Amino acid sequence: MLLYSILFPIISILAILWFFYRYLKEKQSLITVILWTILWLFVIVFSIFPTFSEKFASLFGITRGLDFIIIVVFLVLFYIIFRLYNRIDILQDEINKIVKEVSLNNEITLDDEEDE
């Protein structure tokens, strides 16, 4: 048995447990946990039975199993970047709103300086 076929399943199980822990702490939605669990289960299956990835790859017209895994990893990473970009964008808008509100409620007068 190769090292990766032991290491990857362990990492995957830890990742699944971590996602469920976050779900129990209400930091993650159920759908996110399910999607990530499916992904990590695939990692487990592909690590223990590498030939399995070839069968999946052939479903999509890809000959090598490894190519299929690399493409899936790329797609997942792009999705994560997209999600993060969106989240940052929303946060930026919220920060702008707060900063604007605080500024509008605190017009600077010369009295402020005298108070200091």
Partner 1 sequence: MSFEISKEDKKATYVILPAYNEATRIQPVIEEIACKGYNMVIVNDGSSDNTLDVIKQSKKRYPDQIHIFSLMINRGVGVATQTGFDAVFRFNPKYVVSMDSDGQHSADDLDNVIAPLVKGEAQAVIGVRPLKDMPLSRNFANAVMNFLTKMFYRVDVSDSQTGFRAITVEALREIDINARGYLISSEFIREVNDNKIPFAEVPIQTIYTPETQAKGTNVFEAFKILVQMIKHQF
Residue numbers at the binding site for partner 1 (CB under 8 A)? 92, 95-96, 99-100, 102-104, 106-110, 113
CB of 113 to partner 1, least distance (A): 6
Q: Which is nearer to partner 1, 31 or 104 (CB)?
A: 104
Q: Which is nearer to partner 1, 58 or 96 (CB)?
A: 96
Q: Which is nearer to partner 1, 29 or 92 (CB)?
A: 92
Asked if residue 35 lies in contact with residue 23, where contact means CB atoms within 8 angstroms, the answer is no
CB of 102 to partner 1, least distance (A): 6
Residue 62 region by backbone torsions, left for phi larger than 0, else alpha for psi between -120 and 50, else beta = beta
CB of 76 to partner 1, least distance (A): 22
Q: Tokens for 77, please give them.
A: 């990473």
Which residue, chain included where needed, has tokens 């920060």? 95
Give Cβ neighbours of residue 111 (< 8 Å, ≥ 6 apart).
none
CB of 46 to partner 1, least distance (A): 35
